[in-house]
């Protein structure tokens, strides 16, 4: 079994941490049998338990390769908060266990919460950048330069 991690990098102004709030995780993947890559992003739900065909285990994502018909699956393992200390550095953000498949791309979309001290802000990173204004602290909040990479761990 192979483990993959999504590393996230973002520049955060006046944000203490960025947290992923268990919405769908959008990924592209590649069949390890024939190398065929998914054309579109698929949503993996960390809360959904799917029985693995021909096994007693469960996973969070299961699909069949369009090219070689081999089925593969992915289990979500862990997520990590992106904290201010990691600002603008690639940091491990989520980990997965992959069977017969590799994760090749991640698309951050909705389901993020940014904290300015105690105040949470729900946000969507589809546009890449986000900004707001925190009235309690009179600080302008900004997240920009969001990028990600995938590595085998
Ligand atoms: Zn295949």
Q: Could you state, in order of their start, the residue ranges of all structural domains in the chain? A: 2-152
How many A from CA of 47 to the centre of ligand 1?
26
How many A from CA of 30 to the centre of ligand 1?
8
How many A from CA of 38 to the centre of ligand 1?
10
Separation CA 121–CA 36 (nearest Å): 38
The pair of structure tokens assigned to 33 is 């049998």
Separation CA 54–CA 104 (nearest Å): 26
How many A from CA of 76 to the centre of ligand 1?
21
Q: How confident is the model over 119-146, as pLDDT tens digits? A: 999 999 988 899 999 999 999 999 999 9
How many A from CA of 10 to the centre of ligand 1?
33
Nearest one of 72, 70, 94, 74 to 82, comparing CA atoms? 94
Predicted local confidence at residue 63, as pLDDT: 94
Predicted local confidence at residue 126, as pLDDT: 87
Q: Which residues surround ligand 1, an ion (CB under 5 A)?
A: 31, 33-34, 36, 65, 67-68
Separation CA 49–CA 74 (nearest Å): 11
Q: How confident is the model over 76-90, as pLDDT tens digits? A: 999 999 999 999 999
Put simply, whether the predicted model's pTM sits higher than 0.95 gets the answer no
Q: How confident is the model over 11-63, as pLDDT tens digits? A: 999 999 999 987 899 999 999 999 999 999 999 999 999 998 888 899 999 99
How many A from CA of 132 to the centre of ligand 1?
44
How many A from CA of 33 to the centre of ligand 1?
5
Classify the phi-psi angles of 56: left when phi > 0, otherwise alpha if psi is within -120 to 50, otherwise beta: alpha
> Hey, is 86 helix, strand or coil?
helix
Q: Provide mean pLDDT across the span 87-98.
A: 97
Q: Provide mean pLDDT across the span 3-11.
A: 97
> What is the chain's Cα-based Rg?
17
């Amino acid at each position: 079994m192979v483990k993959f991690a999504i590393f996230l990098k973002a520049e955060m102004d006046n944000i203490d941490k960025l947290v992923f709030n268990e919405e769908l995780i959008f990924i592209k993947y590649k069949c390890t049998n024939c190398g065929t890559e998914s054309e579109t992003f698929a949503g993996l739900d960390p809360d959904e338990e799917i029985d693995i065909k021909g096994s007693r285990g469960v996973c969070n994502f299961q699909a069949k390769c369009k090219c070689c018909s081999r089925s593969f699956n992915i289990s979500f393992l862990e997520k990590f908060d992106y904290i201010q200390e990691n600002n603008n550095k690639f940091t491990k953000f989520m980990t997965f266990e992959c069977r017969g498949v590799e994760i090749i791309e991640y698309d951050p979309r909705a389901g993020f919460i940014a904290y300015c001290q105690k105040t949470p802000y729900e946000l969507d990173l589809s546009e890449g950048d986000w900004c707001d204004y925190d009235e309690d602290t009179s600080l302008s909040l900004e997240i920009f330069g969001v990028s990600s990479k995938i590595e085998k761990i």
